[in-house]
């Protein structure tokens, strides 16, 4: 079974953060709370990690994996943000939003949408997530911890252990996790489209077209 690590949500213990980062850097898969809800995470070059996430969530080739980024500068290294999207995305970060954007060559091909060559990217407003990303030194490849056939993501680390404890390496417990996934906004075409209404406000957007 996976190890559950209790980490302080406002002042994460550096030793424990380093322990989780070691797992990520050594090819492990973690379950961790973000500013929206629990997510599965691994390093960008972790082919096995992507396959494990795909099996746990039973994902199709149309699924957008997410790059969990530390700041806007890092986000800009991995996705293409044109002038029309820049101000909106900048205004909404950090926060519970995932943006679908064209990927740069820095993103491993296995992460991309099979046809569109796009990827999700976001900057969480969450100290734990940001500390992990900073120590890893690059975005954490992530996906919402929503199990097949269920409408709500897992939120309790004990439940996470009971349901998928044999499939991940570490489960991070940190304060009271949020229960709503991020709002997903697709910027891959000329007009932004809200693909999933979640924790973030959609007041800035005219088109809501949930998949």
- For position 22, which CATH number holds? 3.90.870.10
Pairing of the two strands 118-122 and 140-144: unpaired
For residue 33, give Cα distances in angstroms to 38, 116, 171, 187: 4, 29, 9, 25
Q: What is the DSSP letter of 61?
A: T
Position 61 scores a pLDDT of: 80
Residue 205 lies in a domain: no
What does the alpha-carbon distance between residue 102 and residue 104 come to, in Å, rounded to a whole number?
Answer: 7
Q: What is the DSSP letter of 22?
A: H
What does the alpha-carbon distance between residue 131 and residue 153 come to, in Å, rounded to a whole number?
Answer: 23
Position 128 scores a pLDDT of: 96
* pLDDT band with cut points at 50, 70 and 90 for residue 175: confident
Residue 204 lies in a domain: no
Share of the chain above pLDDT 90, in %: 82
Residue 134 lies in a domain: yes
Residue position matching structure tokens 């906004």? 185
Residue 201 lies in a domain: no
Residue 131 lies in a domain: yes
Residue 206 lies in a domain: no
Q: Dump pLDDT digits (tens) for 43-55.
A: 999 999 999 999 9
Domain span holding position 144: 3-196
Averaged pLDDT for residues 85-89: 94
Position 10 scores a pLDDT of: 92
- Between 24-38, 106-120, 136-150, the lowest mean confidence (pLDDT) is in 106-120
Q: What is the dihedral of CA 130, 205, 110, 170, to 10 degrees?
A: 30
* pLDDT band with cut points at 50, 70 and 90 for residue 211: low
- The chain-wide mean pLDDT, for the chain, equals 94
Residue 90 lies in a domain: yes
**DSSP per-residue string spanning 147-208:** -TT-SS----HHHHHHHHTTT-SEEEE-SS---SPPEEEE-SSSS-EEEE--SS--TT-S-B
Number of domains the chain is built from? 1
Decide: residue 175, CB within 10 A, 0-12 exposed, 13-18 middle, 19+ buried.
middle
């Amino acid at each position: 079974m996976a190890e559950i690590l209790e980490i302080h949500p406002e002042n994460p213990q550096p030793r424990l953060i380093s322990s989780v980062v070691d797992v990520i850097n050594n090819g492990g898969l973690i379950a961790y709370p973000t500013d929206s809800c629990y997510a599965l995470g691994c390093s960008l070059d972790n082919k096995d990690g992507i396959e494990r996430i795909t099996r746990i969530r039973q994902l199709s080739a149309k699924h957008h994996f997410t790059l969990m980024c530390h700041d806007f500068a890092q986000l800009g290294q991995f996705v293409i943000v044109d002038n029309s999207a820049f101000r909106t995305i900048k205004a909404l970060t950090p926060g519970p939003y995932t943006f679908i954007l064209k990927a740069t060559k820095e993103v491993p091909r296995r992460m991309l949408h099979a046809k569109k060559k796009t990827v999700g990217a976001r900057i969480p407003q969450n100290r734990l997530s940001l500390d992990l990303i900073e120590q890893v030194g690059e975005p954490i490849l992530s996906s919402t911890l929503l199990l097949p056939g269920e409408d709500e993501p897992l939120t309790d680390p004990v439940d996470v252990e009971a349901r998928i404890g044999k499939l991940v390496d570490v489960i991070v417990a940190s304060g009271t996790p949020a229960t709503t996934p991020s709002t997903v906004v697709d910027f891959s075409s000329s007009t932004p489209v809200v693909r999933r209404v979640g924790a973030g406000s959609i007041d800035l957007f005219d088109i809501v077209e949930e998949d």
